[in-house]
Structure 1
Amino acid sequence: MLTIDRLSITHRRDLREILNNFSLLLGPGERAVLIGEEGNGKSTLLRLIHDPASVEDYAEWSGEVSAGGRTGYLPQELTSEQLSWPARRLFEASEGFMALTPKERAALSKELGLPLSFFTAERPLREFSGGERIKMQLACIAAEQPELYLLDEPSNDLDLDSLEWLECFILSRREPVLFVSHDETLIERTANVVIHLELLRRKTLPRATVARLPYRDYVEARYRSLARQEQAARKEREEFEAKLERYRQIRQKVESAQRGISRQDPHGGRLLKKKMHSVQSMGRRFEKEREALTAMPETEEAIFLSFPSAACVPNGKRVLELALPVLE
């Protein structure tokens, strides 16, 4: 079981917080997908769960993370060095695989639809297809008998047959699976938990949503919730502005009356002063009411660009001339 308690992660380079007080319990049979824009910390979270030391050079974190035992981590891609390895070396680097008996290797080969010859192949890994490399990596991971699978964009560079195989692999795991993917078909067919990582307010405010729902149900529920919140917020603001306009009119009338009151009418002056106190109290109540209004829903900007001040360009300065030949 994966247990995360009040986990916060901050980038060292720009001190940007990408996760704040995040908690999660993930048990057997649960297949959780991490979704969100690029740069929101999905891969960092997987790496931290697998090996906290792997993120220390670029991130600081606090909180508790326990995977309950061995984790099986599939990175986004193999390194250039690994791609030059003969296929057999990938298996030789796995203690779990090397501990298997010939009978167990044959069973693993059959389970994953992987030719036995791959286990001893001399061909460099880069000469295999993306689907074949994923199968070989997952064979090594499965041989380790992990308590938790961590898969970082496993559907990258896969053909249709390999994607269908990957779906079956994820669905067949008894252990919890936490994976990152942008493939909506894969997500819809496999995930029963959705973890949505967002960075709001120009990437300064992290928000994490955990929904134990199928992906499509989560998306539809989210849109309905945002629409209801926006509708309520707009209605409250319209009503508030109408009341505020009436308040302004009352205040203007009292202020106008105060300016025109004669010194020979002290009684009228006292009444207006008392009335102004009431108007001021009403104004303070309006300020409190403004703070209590339903907030407009916040959603993440898909694209965020920022430039240092030194990159500013004076108005009117020509920065690019582009001429494209006309095809005739």
Structure 2
Amino acid sequence: MLEIRNITIQTHKGRTLINNLSFVLNKNDKIAIIGEEGNGKSTLLKAIINPNLIQDYVSIQGDINKNGYQCGYLSQTLDLSWNDTELFEFIVKKKPSEGLDPSYYNDISKVVECLSKVDFDSSLLFENRLMESFSGGEKVKIQLAKILYEQPDILLLDEPTNDLDLKTLIWLEEFIKEIDRPVLFITHDEVLLENTANGILHLEQLKRKTSPVWNFEHCGYIEYCERRNYNIQRTNRIASKEKAEYEKQLERYRQIYQRVDHELNSVSRQNPHGGQLLKKKMRSVKALGKRLEDKELTHKIEPEEAIEIFFDECTVNRNKIILDLELPKLQVDDRTLCKDIRLLVKGNEHIVLIGQNGTGKTTLLKHILQLLQNRKDITVGYLPQNYGDLLPTDISPVEFLLKNQEYEMKSKIQSYLGSLKFTSDEMEHKIKQLSYGQRCKVMLIHLVINQFNVLLLDEPTRNLSPLSNPVIRKIFGDFGGCIISISHDRKFIDEVCDTVYEISNQSFIKMD
């Protein structure tokens, strides 16, 4: 249905994001695009929709053949120009500035049907609510309803899971699995990948982002990861064996060269015209050296998601009271979010708050931060959902991380950034030029170098690739201090957290 042939995408600064990519999206395909931040995933989707969307920052070569099929596109964020548009108008209009043709009202039953297909309350059509009033998860459903209203043949979804709570995530899985048309999508959620994708397109940037490579396989996500890990391990074993054998050959060559050279020098001193046989032998030795020099060896694969960073011994006495909270009412302005909150956290507990969007999880975490941040007996690190709350955008990562640190820490900070695959240029870029995944990694390094023993984390894995997330989960899982977190990431909840609390219907509930 959709044919991509020999697509190369290059930034105007000369960096190649995607090189000579070819693949076909067929009728029953649910293909996930994976890869680290900045590898061109969203750019590829935009190129398929309309190459003009990306012409300001990249050039593109190759062929995109839609074969007459129409694509429906869910962007990563909803254009703010739609904020003042009512729900019905948003679904039926092509653009916000378009007038509402009376004929659109003939489609009310069709709009209701599209909303029901995405599990959205169609009675809200008649409440005159503006798009800006809906939650992130509601906006995703509304945008999907708009796409279905347009009756596309192919769906292109760019990170639809970013603002979804657990309930909506599970719904989205079923939507992708059940819809009767091909889907090409980007997501960071591993469980959704495992449960929906029947093919994987992996975009990578190896060798410090100088070597773009891609791989396309028709298989599930777990099988793809298993095959990939096997191939990496096999290649690296071969590379180690070849290198060891090469070193032996090189050492034998050096010994032969030194012996022949010594013999040749001795003969030349005694008889300047002699030693023709030895000279011929030396030519053979040098030819051997040239062959060794030109020999191509298998190179070890350093996966792009490899992360070499960890917390040192950050520990808390297991009986120490970190938080003893009794809060009769959690409010924002005059609105009550939750009642009768009782939360006792000790020592190195790892707890997580779950619940639907808008129930007050982030508000509660910020309240806990206010209670803990001035304590003298603990040190508290905070990773907000909105990195801009703590991360200035007009300085470089190195400048931010050096704050309150000795200047001698600069080389260690650069080493940490390098281990997270930042190029030397990116280390000195202003933070506003970095992707959200890279900003998250800067915040992670901030937590590590300050050696906090209590971490407050608001959706710590939401902007990281599915291949990086297992490493990040292990880092937090091994953390010897206390973690109080919010997450919709089912693997993070299972692998990192000891205790789960849910906020639901204004109640604070400890889950069994």
TM-score, with normalisation over the residues of structure 2? 0.56
Partner of 2:177: 171
The aligned amino acid for 2:214 is A
Three-state SS of the structure 2 residue aligned to 1:150 is strand
The answer to whether the 8 A contact 1:94-1:140 is kept is no
Partner of 2:337: none
Secondary structure of the structure 2 residue equivalent to 1:8: strand
Show the 5 A alignment for 1:1-328: 1-12=1-12, 14-68=13-67, 69-94=69-94, 98=104, 101-261=107-267, 269-288=275-294, 290-291=295-296, 293-300=297-304, 302-307=420-425
TM-aligned CA distance change 1:229 to 1:100, over 3 Å? farther
Structure 1 stretch 102-111 or stretch 254-263: which is displaced more?
102-111
- Matched pairs, number: 308
**Larger of the two Rg values belongs to structure:** 1
d(CA) in 1 for partners of 2:125, 2:131: 12
What's the counterpart of residue 392 of structure 2?
none
Q: Secondary structure of the residue that 2:28 maps to in structure 1? A: coil
Task: Decide which moves more: 134-143 or 123-132.
Answer: 123-132
Q: Deviation digits for residues 295-325 of structure 1, max 9, x if unmatched?
A: 22243264314349999xxxxxxxxxxx9xx
Deviations 1:131-157 (A, max 9, x none): 221111111101211121010100111
TM-superposed CA distance for 1:181, in Å, is 0.5
**Matching residue's letter, 2:301:** P
How far did residue 280 of structure 1 move? Answer: 1.9
Give deviations 1:216-275, integer Å, cap 9, x for gaps.
Answer: 111121111111111111111111111111111111111111111166658961221222
**2:479 match:** none
Return the alpha-carbon distance in structure 2 between the equivalents of residues 296 and 271 of structure 1.
41
**8 Å contact from structure 1 (residues 29, 173) kept in 2:** no
Distance 2:216 2:258 in 1: 50
CA distance in 2, matches of 1:33, 1:304: 25
Query: 1:100 Cα shift?
Result: 6.8
- Cα contact 1:67–1:147 (8 A) shared by 2: no
Cα offsets for 1:154-211 (capped at 9, x unmatched): 0111111111111111111222111111011111111111111111222222111112
CA distance in 1, matches of 2:197, 2:427: 43
Distance 1:67 1:120 in 2: 37
Q: CA deviation at 1:87?
A: 1.7
Separation in structure 1 between the aligned mates of residue 268 and residue 110 of structure 2, nearest angstrom: 104
How far apart in 2 are the matches of 1:183 and 1:51? 26
Query: One-letter code of the match for 1:303?
Result: K
* Contact 1:88-1:118 within 8 A present in 2 as well: no
Amino acid at match of 1:300: E
Aligned mates of 2:4, 2:298 — CA distance in 1 = 31
User: Identity of aligned pairs, percent?
Assistant: 41
Verify the 8 A CA contact 2:117 2:145 in the aligned structure 1: no
- Asked if the contact 1:233/1:294 (under 8 Å) is kept, the reply is yes
Q: Deviations over 1:96-124 (max 9, x none)?
A: x9487454444334332222223344112
Separation in 2, partners of 1:85, 1:154: 21
CA distance in 2, matches of 1:104, 1:295: 57
Which one-letter code corresponds to 1:87 in the other structure?
A: L
How far the C-alpha of 1:287 sits from its partner, in A, is 2.4
Q: Does the CA contact (< 8 Å) of 2:110 and 2:149 recur in 1? A: no
SS at match of 1:261: helix
Equivalent-residue separation in structure 1 for 2:218 and 2:106 (angstroms): 36
Structure with greater helix percent = 1
Q: Unaligned 5+ residue runs, structure 1?
A: 312-322, 324-328
In structure 2, what residue type is equivalent to 1:186?
L
Greater mean alpha carbon deviation, residues 62-71 or residues 147-156: 62-71
For 2:181 and 2:89, the matched residues in 1 are separated by 27
Q: Tell me, yes or no, if the aligned pair for 2:87 and 2:128 is still in contact at 8 Å.
A: yes
- 1:201 match: secondary structure: helix
Q: Distance in 1 between matches of 2:88 and 2:282?
A: 87
Q: Contact 1:91 / 1:119 at 8 angstroms: preserved in 2?
A: no
CA distance in 1, matches of 2:19, 2:46: 17
Quick one: distance in 2 between partners of 1:267 and 1:15?
58
How much has 1:37 moved relative to structure 2?
1.2
- Residue 200 of structure 2 aligns to a residue in which SS? strand
TM-score (norm: length of structure 1)? 0.86
* Alpha-carbon separation, structure 2, partners of 1:191 and 1:114: 24
Give how far 1:92 is off: 2.9
Residues of 1 paired with 2:268 and 2:44: CA distance?
73
1:77 positional shift: 1.3
Cα distance change, pair 99–261 in 1 and its aligned pair in 2 (3 A): farther
Kindly provide the amino acid, as one letter, of the partner of residue 65 in structure 1: I
Distance 1:130 1:120, change over 3 A: same
Secondary structure of residue in 1 paired with 2:424 = coil
Q: Tell me how far apart the structure 1 counterparts of residues 426 and 178 of structure 2 sit (CA, whole Å).
A: 49
